């Protein structure tokens, strides 16, 4: 009796899993389609597509596609994937669906690091990336250490408090740097960096962040099921044969390093890490086994589309960070008040 019930239940699950894998595949195909579409779409010479014929004849079009749009699109894809995967990792590790990879001083740390580099060290791609990454990690470490020393509140509240404090410290530091910066050369660079955008991406910049990004993404992808365990309390995770402290640190590093890397070239691109994990969980459930890759794909699609808008909506570029925030927060509001949302405490 219960044997048949079990068989039916397991079969149903197998079927659902298969359906979800198909949806994942469709997402993958959609991503490839949007990627190719975006490669040809833009404002050259007028708003519209570049035909293959033109690519073959027009040297400038060829250059545009392969040396400007291709690295830019790849960066947009990676940016979305990293922020979304990082969002899931942060949300799982902190047991809180409202944190994102920029949380805990990471974003403000990176911004401070980038500005510091622009003002004092020149601002070559490698230095900027290094400086942003170092300060992103420093922001994380400071928040973490501070949270351990706060003497009241639960763990999550302490993390939120220390994240706010550390972010405020770095943004004060950023204010000082802006004040010190040369208003003609350095200040615009800082400002543009803070608005986020991919207009200055070159193959060189992309290649500089590629090792950190790819290794981070691959690590997170491989670890995707184990991530579930780390959302549990330390004791529970430990009882299931995990080494929660070590594993959390590993995953946090694997999420923050690529995040710092993409922020360092793209600047502050907000809301992706919050909204995409949310959508991925809606579609695929909470089990990170499928939700994490789904978030990577969805993040890639979302960021590429936002970047398409940013470079084609107006004759001049709209900074990407503005668009992701605008669209992300709008989607967030719609999701929050839509009827499908179940309310939990």
Partner 1 sequence: MTPSLLTFQEVRFGYNRTEAPVFDGLDLSLKEGRITAILGPNGAGKTTLLYLVLGWLKPWAGKICLLDIPIENYSRRALGQHISLIPQSEHTPFEYTVLEYVLLGRAPYLPPLGAPSQDDEKIAYEALVKMGIGDLYDHSILTLSGGERQMVLAARALAQEPKLLLLDEPTSHLDLSNKVRLVHILRKLKNSGTTILMSTHEPELALALSDDTILMEKGRVLTSGRTAEMVTEENLSKIYHIPVKTVFADGKKFIAWM
Residues that bind partner 1 (CB under 8 A): 2, 5-6, 9-10, 12-14, 92, 95-97, 222-226, 228-229, 231-236, 238-243, 281, 285-287, 289, 342, 344
Closest CA to 320 of 280, 279, 253, 267: 267
Backbone region of residue 153 per phi and psi (left: phi > 0; alpha: psi in -120 to 50; beta: other values): left
Distance CA 224, CA 291 (A): 9
- Kindly state the smallest distance separating residue 104's Cβ from partner 1, in Å: 18
Query: Among residues 9 and 126, whose Cβ is nearest to partner 1?
Result: 9
The conformation of residue 41, written as its DSSP 8-state character, comes to E
Q: Nearest CA to 198 among 70, 286, 49?
A: 70
**Token representation of residue 138:** 């420093």
Q: How far is the CB of 186 from partner 1 (least distance, A)?
A: 43
Decide whether 60 or 98 has the Cβ nearer to partner 1: 98
Closest distance of CB 12 from partner 1, Å: 8
CB of residue 225 to partner 1, shortest distance in Å: 4
Closer CB to partner 1, 133 or 255, in the complex? 255
- Residue whose C-alpha is closest to residue 275's, from 299, 251, 304: 299
- CB nearer to partner 1: pick between 212 and 230: 230
- Judged by beta carbon, residue 9 or residue 25, the one nearer partner 1 is 9
Can you tell me the distance from the alpha carbon of 145 to that of 153, in angstroms, rounded to the nearest whole number?
15
Whole-number minimum distance, CB 303 to partner 1, in Å? 24
Measured from the CB atom, the residue of 14 and 145 that comes closer to partner 1 is 14
Q: Report CA-CA distances (Å) from 279 to 115, 246, 273.
A: 33, 29, 11
Q: Give burial (CB, 10 Å; 0-12/13-18/19+) of 312.
A: middle
Coil, strand or helix at 43: strand
Residue 164 Cβ, how far from partner 1 at the closest point, in Å?
20
> CA–CA separation, 33 vs 308, rounded Å?
13
Angle between helices 203-222 and 125-149 (to 10 degrees): 40
Nearest approach in angstroms of CB 77 to partner 1 is 24
Q: At what angle do helices 272-284 and 320-337 cross, to 10 degrees?
A: 40
CB nearer to partner 1: pick between 70 and 229: 229
Nearer to partner 1, 161 or 231 (CB): 231
Gap between the Cα atoms of 154 and 97, Å rounded: 16
């Amino acid at each position: 009796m219960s044997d048949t019930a079990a068989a039916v239940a397991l079969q149903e699950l197998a079927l659902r899993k298969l359906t979800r894998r198909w949806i994942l595949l469709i997402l993958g195909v959609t991503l490839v389609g949007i990627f190719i579409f975006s490669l040809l779409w833009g404002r050259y010479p007028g708003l519209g597509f570049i035909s293959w014929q033109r690519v073959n004849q027009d040297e400038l079009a060829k250059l545009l596609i392969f040396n400007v749009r291709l690295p830019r699109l790849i960066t947009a894809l990676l940016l979305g994937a990293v922020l979304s995967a990082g969002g899931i990792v942060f949300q799982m590790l902190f047991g809180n669906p409202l944190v994102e990879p920029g949380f805990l001083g990471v974003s403000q740390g990176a911004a401070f690091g980038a500005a510091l580099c622009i003002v004092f060290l020149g601002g070559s791609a490698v230095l900027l990336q290094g400086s942003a990454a170092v300060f992103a990690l420093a922001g994380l470490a400071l928040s973490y250490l501070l949270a351990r020393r706060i003497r009241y509140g639960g763990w999550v509240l302490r993390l939120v408090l220390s994240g706010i404090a550390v972010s405020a410290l770095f943004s004060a530091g950023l204010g000082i740097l802006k004040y010190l910066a040369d208003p003609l050369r350095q200040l615009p660079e800082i400002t543009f960096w803070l608005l986020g955008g991919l207009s200055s991406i070159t193959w060189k910049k992309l290649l500089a962040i590629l090792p950190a990004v790819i290794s981070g993404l691959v690590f997170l992808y491989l670890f995707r099921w184990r991530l579930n365990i780390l959302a549990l309390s330390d004791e529970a995770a430990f009882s299931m044969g995990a080494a929660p402290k070590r594993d959390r640190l590993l995953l946090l590093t694997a999420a923050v390093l690529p995040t710092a890397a993409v922020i360092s070239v793209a600047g502050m691109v907000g809301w992706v890490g919050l909204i995409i994990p949310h959508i991925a969980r809606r579609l695929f459930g909470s089990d990170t086994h499928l939700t994490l890759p789904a978030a990577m794909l969805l993040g890639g699609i979302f960021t590429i589309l936002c970047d398409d808008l940013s470079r084609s909506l107006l004759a001049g570029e709209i900074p990407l960070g503005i668009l992701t925030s605008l669209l992300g927060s709008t989607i967030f509001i719609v999701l929050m008040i839509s009827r499908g949302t179940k309310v939990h405490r």
